[in-house]
């Protein structure tokens, strides 16, 4: 009998932000294949006899290739095991969950998608930055800051012009290049910008500056980081509610 693969979003960092369905899948899994940024407290929710497989990817250092991860998911499912592929954020937001789903579908392996809270919305929320605000921003765009070989280049200037707020994930390594691209493309140098590092966790750090000073004020960014560009960043000083440095809440 073939098992089933659950592509589960672990959320942005704080283990308390996983969905009820996601937590249920972890607790019932025979195998958990997890990413680098998954909180260890979520792994502790799996059964004692559940197998845990690390599939973390750091910049320039992948413990397993994507092809190897795909094969591991299929192998365990074909052995009749229920497998949780536990991914940071949401599986379908720059998480390669789509590729894994296509791989499983092509092999007639049952799977379920369990959405997670993406850092694209959680990071600004924990920094007191609403992505939309009446009279300030009525749209937002989310882009990757990670350049993939063979993929079309991201038009940061075009996105920023068309959306009220620009959110960039995985952009720490190319931060100066991205901000300079926006400036060269005609963005107002005084446009507010925020960098949120390690969002929703006890070590979250938020730096607020403007586009022209970003290179100086955010000289050393610790990955993972979420970059927010737009006038809504100015609301940080009013709405800021999360006490950075406070331990995150326990899992429900």
Query: For residue 243, what are the CA distances in angstroms to 127, 136, 217?
Result: 9, 25, 21
Quote the pLDDT of residue 12: 95
CATH class of 5-114: alpha beta
Q: Which residues, given as ranges, of the chain have pLDDT below 50? A: none
Phi-psi region for residue 60, left (φ > 0), alpha (ψ -120 to 50) or beta?
left
Write the CB contacts of 234 (distance below 8 Å, at least 6 apart in sequence): 192
Quote the pLDDT of residue 220: 87
Catalytic residues: 35, 57
Convert 208-217 to b/e letters by CB count within 10 Å (16 or more is b).
bbbbbebeee
pTM: 0.91
Query: Where do the structural domains in the chain lie, given as residue ranges?
Result: 5-114, 119-239
At 78-108, the pLDDT tens digits run 999 999 999 999 999 999 999 999 999 999 9
Angle between helices 97-106 and 66-78 (to 10 degrees): 50
Q: Is 53 helix (H, G, I), strand (E, B) or coil?
A: strand
Quote the pLDDT of residue 247: 56
Quote the pLDDT of residue 4: 98
For the domain 119-239, what is the CATH superfamily, name and number?
Tetrapyrrole methylase, C-terminal domain (3.30.950.10)
């Amino acid at each position: 009998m073939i098992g089933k693969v659950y592509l589960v979003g672990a959320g942005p960092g704080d283990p308390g932000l996983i969905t009820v369905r996601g937590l249920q899948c972890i607790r019932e899994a025979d195998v958990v294949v997890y990413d680098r940024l998954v909180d260890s407290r979520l792994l502790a929710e799996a059964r004692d006899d559940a197998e845990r497989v690390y599939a973390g990817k750091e910049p320039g250092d992948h413990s397993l290739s994507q092809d190897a991860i795909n094969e591991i998911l299929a192998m365990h499912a074909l052995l009749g095991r229920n497998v949780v592929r536990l991914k940071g954020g949401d599986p379908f937001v720059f998480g390669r969950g789509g590729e894994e789903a296509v791989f499983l579908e092509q092999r007639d392996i049952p799977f379920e998608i369990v959405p997670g809270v993406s850092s694209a919305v959680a990071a600004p929320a924990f920094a007191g930055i609403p992505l939309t605000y009446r009279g300030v921003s009525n749209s937002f765009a989310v882009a990757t800051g990670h350049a993939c070989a063979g993929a079309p280049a991201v038009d940061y200037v075009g996105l920023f012009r068309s959306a009220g707020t620009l959110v960039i994930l995985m952009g720490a390594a190319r931060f100066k290049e991205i901000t300079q691209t926006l400036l060269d493309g005609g963005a107002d140098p005084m446009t507010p910008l925020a960098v949120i590092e390690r969002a929703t966790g006890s070590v979250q750090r938020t730096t607020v500056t403007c586009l022209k000073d970003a290179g100086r004020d955010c000289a050393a960014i610790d990955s993972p980081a979420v970059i927010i560009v737009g006038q809504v960043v100015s609301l940080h000083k009013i709405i800021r509610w999360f006490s950075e440095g406070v331990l995150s809440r326990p899992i429900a």
